[in-house]
Amino acid sequence: MTCTVAMKPNSKPNSKPDTPPASVSLRDPDRAGRVWVSSGVLLLLLVSLAGSQFNPAVLFAPDSLSSAADFFDTFWPPRTDVDFLQRLFEASVVTVSIATVATVLAMIVATPLAIAITSRLSLSARGRAMKTPARLARGSLRGVLLFLRSVPELIWALLFVGVTGLGATAGIMGLLITNIGILAKNYAEIIESGEAAVTGHLLDNGNGRCKTLLHATVPQCLPELLSYSIYRWECTLRTSVVLGFVGAGGLGQELLISIRQLASPEVFSIILVFVLLVCLADAISNSLRRQLRPATAGSAAEWNVALRAEGADIAVHTEAAAGNRGRGKLRTVLPRWGQLCLVLVAVLACFQAVDWQLEQWLRPSSFARSREFIQGFFPPDLSAGLWRRLLGDALETLSMAFAGTALASLVAIALSYLLFTVNLRGAGLFMRFFASTLHLLQIVLRSVPELVWAMLLIIVAGIGPFTGTLALFLASVGVLSRLYSECLDNQDEAPLENLLANGSPLALAPMWSTLMQARSQLISYSLYRWEHNLRAATLMGIVGAGGVGQELYLRLSVFQFDKVAACVVVIVVLVALADNISHFLRHRYAPTV
């Protein structure tokens, strides 16, 4: 779009009164690029909808509606007898312990890896191209992390079943390895999406990476890092459903048993427990974010934060309105010691509750079984017939993941934006009820694992990629709307307050302030979710929802590990493709400042 601004004639006495007005042409330099990208995304969406056999009319066919009504009528009332509730409580403790242990260990390992691969804290890249050895080292480490998160948790867990046998330890190791790759990659992206000015000033003035990390990076990114870590804990809880296949115990195993027995009241009870656990994660996340949110000292507080380190004296001066939710302050309020102790005790209790099966680790025969398991993967099957099927399955998996993610992103951004504007309008009774309803919808959608959504939707939509696409769509709407909402809440409110003070409508002002500030992180979350859905789509075949997972599960069930290796190669290539596209788009179309 081109707009012309007419300049008033110079009013000085020496100026000519008949000077023609000058015109200044203001043009968006990236307009053409954005149009091409938007058109490409739309075209890919249409192709993906066709490739995933997307046909919503199937859901409203008389036979589908009748089957769904008959099946879901048996869900109520949920099973609530004492014996079952006691068994459910014990399974919940096991699931929470497995998820907590795997997530905490992954956070510990992933944090230094994220610092190592990010270029934001690189001394060799300041003011010049990164040196070749540093670039190669970072690229190699990124490749290792890509492999760790590409291989499905089920494959990693089966590897450790050979060492420890069936049980919780194999499940923990499977979740741990995948989470290391995921957390390290996303921690690095969160660090790179923050403001670079303060970090750059400290590095340019001779400060080391550790000092810069503690004084600039951590204060900026800590709310986002904690929010994402808790979200990852939620994902680990949902992934525990898959680990029921390796006898890891917990809610996943109970759910699979109940579904196979068509015990609908038990399935509904277990789903309610998942919802309660996600509500617990939400409460913890909100509490931590409130504690870490800087407090203002008046309706228009002045922030004066001085970062004084050796060789640098940098002041950050910003003015903010009351109720600021942003991360502009570099000083945070630590949680109360009681809350920290409570979290620490809970984590230690989870470590204590896990059966580590240490005696199995010490048996030489255990590692011999794992060595035989690994050797069965080499060499991968290279037969032309298998790879032709895998190519078709890969295209189907790409279509499922892209269609589910793209549709979910559109719905999620609308939900999160609506929730953000509702929270701005005030604390009226109707607004509180409406916000609570939207929040409950987010929780329910993301509480049910993708695999369970697929199992339930098969009753309505039948077997095929359409069912997998719907399952990914429903789960992604809940996850992305929550991540989008927290990302919008974490932005600096000063631009929004300036627009509102100058008369901008409340419904549109966040679009040109908060949404623009968060665009880099929103794109990162969307592309990460696409990568996640690619891996999740590979497991949809377990229940007949199409994709590479159908071939993977078939070959696993008959112990054809050379063909399983070919499936894993395809999955790694797909995730690498998603990772490279994510990196390019985030740095090209959503640059950080």
Domains in the chain (CATH in brackets) are 85-369 (1.10.3720.10), 379-593 (1.10.3720.10)
Q: Sorting pLDDT into bands at 50, 70 and 90, what band is 406?
A: very high
CA angle 22, 26, 32 (to 5 degrees): 145
pLDDT in tens, 344-382: 888 898 888 887 777 766 677 767 777 777 888 888 888
pLDDT in tens, 461-512: 888 888 889 999 998 998 898 888 888 887 877 888 888 888 878 778 888 7
pLDDT in tens, 327-342: 444 344 445 667 778 8
Mean pLDDT of all residues in 46-72: 83
162 has pLDDT over 80: no
Q: What is the identity of the amino acid at 509?
A: A
Q: What is the pLDDT of residue 288?
A: 66
Q: What is the pLDDT of residue 42?
A: 87
Q: Which of 18-22, 289-293, 332-336, 423-427 has the highest mean predicted lDDT (pLDDT)?
A: 423-427
28 has pLDDT over 70: no
What is the rounded CA–CA span in Å between residue 506 and residue 501?
10
- Residue 409 region by backbone torsions, left for phi larger than 0, else alpha for psi between -120 and 50, else beta: alpha
Closest CA to 566 of 427, 396, 390: 390
Count other C-beta atoms under 10 Å from residue 387's C-beta. Answer: 16
On average, the pLDDT of the chain sits at 76
110 has pLDDT over 90: yes
Q: What is the pLDDT of residue 228?
A: 80
Q: What is the pLDDT of residue 352?
A: 87
Closest CA to 593 of 495, 481, 507, 501: 495
Mean pLDDT of all residues in 383-390: 89
29 has pLDDT over 60: yes
Q: What is the pLDDT of residue 363?
A: 72
Asked if 174 contacts 243 with a C-beta cutoff of 8 angstroms, the reply is yes
Q: Sorting pLDDT into bands at 50, 70 and 90, what band is 310?
A: very low
**HSE-CB of 274 using CA atoms within 13 angstroms:** 29
Q: What is the pLDDT of residue 380?
A: 87
DSSP characters over 279-332: HHHHHHHHHHHHHHSPPPSSTEEEEEEEEEETTEEEEEEEEEETT--SS--S--
pLDDT in tens, 517-576: 888 778 878 887 887 888 788 777 777 777 787 888 788 778 788 888 898 888 888 888
pLDDT in tens, 431-446: 778 878 888 888 888 8
Q: Which residue has the higher pLDDT, 125 or 392?
A: 392
What is the rounded CA–CA span in Å between residue 331 and residue 218?
10
Q: What is the pLDDT of residue 320?
A: 36
Mean pLDDT of all residues in 44-54: 86
pTM of this structure:
0.74
Q: What is the pLDDT of residue 543?
A: 75
Mean pLDDT of all residues in 48-64: 84
Q: What is the pLDDT of residue 308?
A: 34
SS3 call for 248 = coil
What is the rounded CA–CA span in Å between residue 55 and residue 457?
13
Mean pLDDT of all residues in 392-397: 88
CA distances from 437 to 196, 433, 489 (A): 38, 6, 18
* Long-range residue pairs from 424-429, CB within 8 A, at least 24 positions apart, any chain: 424/506, 424/510, 425/506
Q: What is the pLDDT of residue 125?
A: 60
Beta strands at 312-321 and 300-309: parallel, antiparallel or unpaired: antiparallel
Mean pLDDT of all residues in 149-170: 76
| Residues of the chain above pLDDT 90, percent | 6
Q: Sorting pLDDT into bands at 50, 70 and 90, what band is 405?
A: very high
Q: Environment class of residue 171 by beta-carbon count within 10 Å: exposed (0-12), middle (13-18) or buried (19+)?
A: buried
Q: Which residue has the higher pLDDT, 304 or 518?
A: 518
Asked if 408 contacts 563 with a C-beta cutoff of 8 angstroms, the reply is no
Mean pLDDT of all residues in 299-321: 35
pLDDT in tens, 68-88: 787 777 888 888 888 889 988
